[in-house]
């Protein structure tokens, strides 16, 4: 469905016709008495799936470790993407996180439970163009397959990995 500017005169203001578009940026009025901000009724998604994570903080993040708990599925119909692109919020909107800004990914692109460690660029910020203006945002995108997003059970901030080192001298061990 596409709006035609030439037909705007047929819009009866007394009928209070309005259309709203639901998008990753919230709900936007796209058609009213004096306004056509988008000629499309439906938002045009370029990705098969997107996972958006909002983060609250008074200070700018420089880095973050996120633990993703993934549910194991025996469903053979699930299709997983081997390529997940990550984006961060900035004043200009979404910007891609470069490979060297992902320090490590134990999840192998959200395929299994593990930690993803991010180092953020200096322009990681709250954005007035994206959802809640008081949050920082990360976005994971899959262009082709997105079933792994539905298998995320939980996401935990400030995650870390601990390993026990067992020494041959058992008297040093704390029980």
Q: Write the DSSP string, 8-61.
A: GGG--GGGT--EEEEETTEEEEEE-SS-BS-SBSS----SSEEEEEEE--SS--
The Cα 94–Cα 166 span in angstroms is: 45
Give pLDDT tens digits for 87-143.
998 888 889 999 999 999 999 899 889 999 999 999 888 876 667 778 888 999 998
Q: What is the pTM of this model?
A: 0.70
């Amino acid at each position: 469905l596409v709006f035609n500017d030439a037909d705007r005169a047929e819009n009866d203001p007394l009928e209070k016709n309005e259309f709203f578009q639901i998008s990753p940026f919230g709900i936007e009025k796209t058609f009213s008495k004096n306004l056509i901000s988008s000629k499309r009724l439906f938002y045009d998604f370029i990705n098969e799936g997107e996972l958006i994570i909002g983060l609250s903080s008074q200070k700018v993040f420089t880095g973050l470790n996120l633990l993703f708990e993934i549910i194991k599925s025996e469903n053979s119909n699930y299709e997983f993407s081997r390529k997940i692109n990550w984006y961060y919020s900035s004043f200009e909107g979404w910007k891609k996180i470069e490979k060297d800004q992902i320090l490590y990914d134990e999840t192998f692109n959200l395929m299994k439970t593990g930690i993803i460690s991010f180092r953020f660029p200096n322009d990681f910020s709250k954005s007035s163009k994206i959802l809640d203006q008081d949050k920082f945002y990360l976005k994971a995108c899959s262009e082709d397959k997105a079933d792994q997003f539905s298998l995320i059970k939980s996401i935990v901030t400030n995650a870390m990995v601990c390993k026990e080192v067992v020494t041959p001298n058992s008297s040093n061990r704390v029980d």
